[in-house]
Amino acid sequence: MEVEATPLWKVIAAGLRADILEARYTPGAPLPSETALAERYNVSRPTVRDAVKALVLEGLITVIRGRGTFVRPVPDRYLIMLGVEPRHDIASSAYNSEGQNQGWLRWPIPDPELPEADVYGISNVLPADRETAMLMGLRTGHSVVRRYSVWFHAKVRTRIEVSSFINADLIPDFTRADLVGELDAVYRHLEKGRGPVSWADTVTARMPYENERERLEIEAGAPILLIRRIMYSRDGQVLEMTEIRGAAEHYETTSVDVSSDQDQSRSAPKSAEGGRVILAL
Amino acid sequence: MEVEATPLWKVIAAGLRADILEARYTPGAPLPSETALAERYNVSRPTVRDAVKALVLEGLITVIRGRGTFVRPVPDRYLIMLGVEPRHDIASSAYNSEGQNQGWLRWPIPDPELPEADVYGISNVLPADRETAMLMGLRTGHSVVRRYSVWFHAKVRTRIEVSSFINADLIPDFTRADLVGELDAVYRHLEKGRGPVSWADTVTARMPYENERERLEIEAGAPILLIRRIMYSRDGQVLEMTEIRGAAEHYETTSVDVSSDQDQSRSAPKSAEGGRVILAL
DNA sequence: CATCATTTGTGCGTATGTATC
DNA sequence: AGATACATACGCACAAATGAT
């Protein structure tokens, strides 16, 4: 009732945060129960819950219903390497057979209405939404061919989504079989008469929507990393946009190192990190 | 009371989310008040507030006390270009005078105990915390020289933090004056006898802590983008680690395009994006 | 300038459901 | 089966910010 300068839940959150960061509660250890904390801080349980929510959002703790609240271990981040030549059509289902993606398994797409053949990869034509259109230099609603798949990695224990968008005008006579067929068939077709192609990789992050959180099994309050790769024709036309989404706490990107000198010494730091590389684009 | 399969607040969140994404509430427009929503959905205000919180975390709405709840406009993302040669010592306060960083202004560091000379950039020696040590291949607690500054850009209207860490053993006799002096003086010193150097840029994201949120004026529930640049000696030793932190909703990174062909055609897509580039590292 | 209605922020007490051990 | 812990939800009260009167 009495109005403190700072809200009670913030005071409690600060206390718990300090306890965690200064290792009085170590990773994996349980925090006191909400009722216990309520007594200790002399507040009601809803107030404690506000503090708990704040720390969940900071990624410091995980709450497990029926069990308790636990300090989150800091997860290792695996490396996604950008700019690796030659670039492949990673949205093709044939990419699975490549050696480069060892450890990645196709994950069934959780859509009950999906035809049997598409559980591991959808390809369809749809109107571009605002954001996709902007990225591809098209008008909103322009037809694009979308290929979508979900991948799982046993080591990382999380999933990523791969979406590819191609201006439908560029591949008017492609069938579904063509799209899911041989690796790089789509790229070779796109490149014909338009090459040499160039690429731009961009990386950013945002908070997931509810459905994304569930699809990718992202913890509450954790951001997703957005990795986009755009393929340009010789004259600057967008040929393809590929987007990869995954939990930011599990991944970081790195670009291939282009030393101005031709010296191969740069392999030294790379090899040190080599064990963390889990995907090359 | 009756237990629905999905919580009421999720149902309400889903309804509002659809209303926003399908533009029934347009960017900038106010949502109905919490009491109005409570009546409309026939629930209590705390329940509505749970739904509202969820949408705030998804970045869809902003809540302003005393005024109401509003649909967030999607902000433009500015480009931070990685891998631009030659690389400069962006942590040096002399970097300010470069042409490359036009638009960036040094922001005073909000620490009342700071000596007058350091309001625009701290440099000090401290023990490396666990994460920094890991990134630099040092033991936790090893002495590192840290340089820290905050920058503001009028166009983006947000701030970024730049931190540089150097193994203190590598510059034992550097004074504060040396560190804040001529551009690239530190780099030239580090490179002496250890070059040619190589670089690795990494990008990831996480949720900010409370104090970071306030320092960088990041909206509640918005992630920060972490951009790290590591400078390696010829034999793979870490010479410097630079980290940039900013609100992920305002920035994305892009790596310079290294086409295998020497053809300069790649300037085409670049120029299309040129206007968005706000920083080159 | 003061006042008032509106709107969100904080906090308590309570009740009931459900997962885990 | 019972104890414990978290999840959802309601109703209420008051504080504080805002904008209009």
Give the length of chain B. 281
Å from A4 (CA) to C1 (C1')?
Answer: 29
pLDDT of residue B96: 67
pLDDT of residue A98: 53
Predicted TM-score of the model (pTM): 0.86
Tens of pLDDT, residue by residue over B153-183, are 888 888 999 999 999 999 877 776 676 677 8
Residue showing tokens 């983008």: B225
Please check whether residue B243 is in contact with residue B204, taking contact to mean a CB–CB distance below 8 angstroms: no
Higher pLDDT, B251 or A73: B251
Residue nearest to nucleotide D18 (CA to C1'): B66
What are the DSSP E strand ranges found in B108-250? 122-127, 143-153, 158-167, 198-206, 224-232, 238-247
Q: Provide the total of helices (H) and of strands (E) in chain B, helices listed first.
A: 8, 12
Higher pLDDT, B34 or B172: B34
How much of chain B exceeds pLDDT 90, in percent? 38
The total of other beta-carbon atoms located within 10 Å of residue B211's CB is 10
Res. A269: pLDDT tops 80? no
pLDDT of residue A115: 72
CA-based nearest residue in chain A for residue B58: A207
pLDDT of residue A264: 45
By C1' distance from the Cα of A1, the closest nucleotide is C11
CA-based nearest residue in chain A for residue B252: A204
Q: How far is A33 from chain B (nearest CA, A)?
A: 22
Q: What does the CA dihedral B84, B88, B91, B92 come to, rounded to 10 degrees?
A: -150
When scoring B65, B74, B265, B279 by the number of chain A Cβ atoms within 10 A, the one with the most, hence best to mutate, is B265
By C1' distance from the Cα of B35, the closest nucleotide is C7
Query: If you average pLDDT over residues B138-150, what whole number do you get?
Result: 91
Gap between the Cα atoms of B108 and B118, Å rounded:
9
A49 touches strand D (CB under 7 A): yes
What are the DSSP E strand ranges found in A73-172? 78-82, 104-107, 122-127, 143-153, 158-167
Gap between the Cα atoms of B76 and A130, Å rounded:
13
pLDDT of residue B174: 73
CB of A183 within 8 Å of a chain B CB? The answer is no
Query: If you average pLDDT over residues A64-76, what whole number do you get?
Result: 87
Residue showing tokens 């670039």: A87
Q: Which of A79-93, A171-185, B186-200 has the lowest mean pLDDT?
A: A171-185
pLDDT of residue B274: 57
Residue showing tokens 């990718």: A216
**Cβ neighbours of B14 in A, within 8 Å:** 210
Binary contact (B255, A82; C-beta < 8 A)? yes
Please check whether residue B47 is in contact with residue B1, taking contact to mean a CB–CB distance below 8 angstroms: no
pLDDT of residue A274: 58
Higher pLDDT, A32 or A266: A32
Tens of pLDDT, residue by residue over A158-206, are 899 999 999 999 987 777 667 667 778 888 888 888 878 888 999 999 9
**Cβ neighbours of A12 in B, within 8 Å:** none
Res. A238: pLDDT tops 60? yes
Res. B2: pLDDT tops 60? no
CB of B84 within 8 Å of a chain A CB? The answer is no
Dihedral (CA of B20, B25, B29, B31) sign = negative
Binary contact (B210, A57; C-beta < 8 A)? no
pLDDT band (50, 70, 90) for residue B43: very high
Res. A92: pLDDT tops 90? no
Res. B263: pLDDT tops 50? no
The total of other beta-carbon atoms located within 10 Å of residue B200's CB is 22
pLDDT band (50, 70, 90) for residue B194: confident
Strand D, nucleotides covered by protein (CB < 7 Å): 4-19
Q: How far is A177 from chain B (nearest CA, A)?
A: 30
Helix (H, G, I), strand (E, B) or coil at A52: helix
Query: If you average pLDDT over residues A242-266, what whole number do you get?
Result: 74
CA A115 vs CA A111, A118, A120, A145, A211: distances in Å: 9, 6, 10, 18, 21
Tens of pLDDT, residue by residue over B200-248, are 999 999 998 878 888 888 887 789 999 999 999 988 899 999 999 999 9
pLDDT of residue B261: 46
Query: If you average pLDDT over residues A213-233, what whole number do you get?
Result: 89
pLDDT of residue A102: 67
Å from B23 (CA) to D1 (C1')?
Answer: 52
Residue nearest to nucleotide D19 (CA to C1'): B67
